[in-house]
Amino acid sequence: MPVVSFLDPISLGGFFVVTALGLALAIEGGFRIGKWRRTQTASEKDSPVGAVVAATLGLVGFILAMTFGFAVSRFEGRQEAYLGELNAIGTTYLRADFLPEAQREQTKQALREYVDIRSRSAEHQTIEQGIALSEEIHSKLWSTLTALDPANLNSMSVALYTQSLNELIDLHEQRVMAGVRLRIPQTLWLVLLLISLLGMGEIGYQTALAGSARTPVSLGLVIAFALLLYLIADLDRPLEGSLRINQTAMNDLRERLRTR
């Protein structure tokens, strides 16, 4: 089952809008509190507040960098698992020629179906169904192997095929884990969003405390933060957005197997 984040019900576009709006409201709320505070006391200076704002933004930058690193490593893991699975499927298909003629074409047809399933499930985002059908084909391939004559099972050529099939099954599990189950921890998301809102609020507070009017520069800061958070969310969602694994290589493999 794919891991669901509390942010998943919100589309990526909606996430950007909500994030940008929340950060803008945080600045505006901080500005109004700072303006009210300035009318209440003249002893609070903006210099110490500036040091607090700098420290908070430093924490935001640290958590942003850590979260971005998490997201990039997950994305790279999905790419590696995808390429590994491609190689394993191709090798298993070629080594199916080592099987006796009665099982050879049956095995190759099952592998062609397997590639179709992997390609369709990624393109149409039917991940749960794709995982279930893939595991059914694993069982079919393994049953075909174990049904061989014991004399054939002990041959070196069948042993090579068995090794490839084992790798294929293992890489399936690795790809499922890397692709749909390893996500940015929800606690990290919560901390990142809360500290970002706090930092924006402190910026608005300091601006008002210094006696400055609202500045359009704050809008640029809000958009920059919202875009970076959007990028992290895109990297963290394997089934949505523009930063997805390109399925061209899987489709090319499917066409190659159809002609062999």
Percent of the chain predicted with pLDDT > 90 = 29
| Phi and psi, residue 175, nearest 5° | -70, -40
Mean pLDDT (whole number) for 184-204: 92
Computed over every residue of the chain, the mean pLDDT equals 85
Asked if pLDDT for residue 110 goes beyond 50, the answer is yes
pLDDT score of 225 = 93
Residue 204's H or E segment, with its range, is: helix 186-209
Is 182 or 60 the better-scoring residue by pLDDT? 60
> Residue 34's closest CA among 200, 192, 194, 193?
200
Contact residues for 219 (Cβ-Cβ < 8 A; gap 6+): 24
Give the separation between CA 111 and CA 216, rounded to whole angstroms. 58
10 Å CB burial of residue 150 (0-12, 13-18, 19+) is exposed
Mean pLDDT (whole number) for 105-130: 80
Mean pLDDT (whole number) for 64-72: 91
pLDDT score of 99 = 84
Q: Give tens-digit pLDDT for 215-245.
A: 788 889 999 999 999 999 999 887 777 888 7
Confidence of residue 3 (pLDDT cuts 50, 70, 90): low
Asked if pLDDT for residue 193 goes beyond 90, the answer is yes
**By three-state DSSP, how is residue 34 classified?**
helix
User: What's the Cα-to-Cα distance from 12 to each of 65, 82, 133, 226, rounded to whole Å?
Assistant: 20, 24, 29, 11
Task: Report the C-alpha dihedral over residues 240, 243, 244, 248, rounded to 10 degrees.
Answer: 140
pLDDT score of 227 = 95
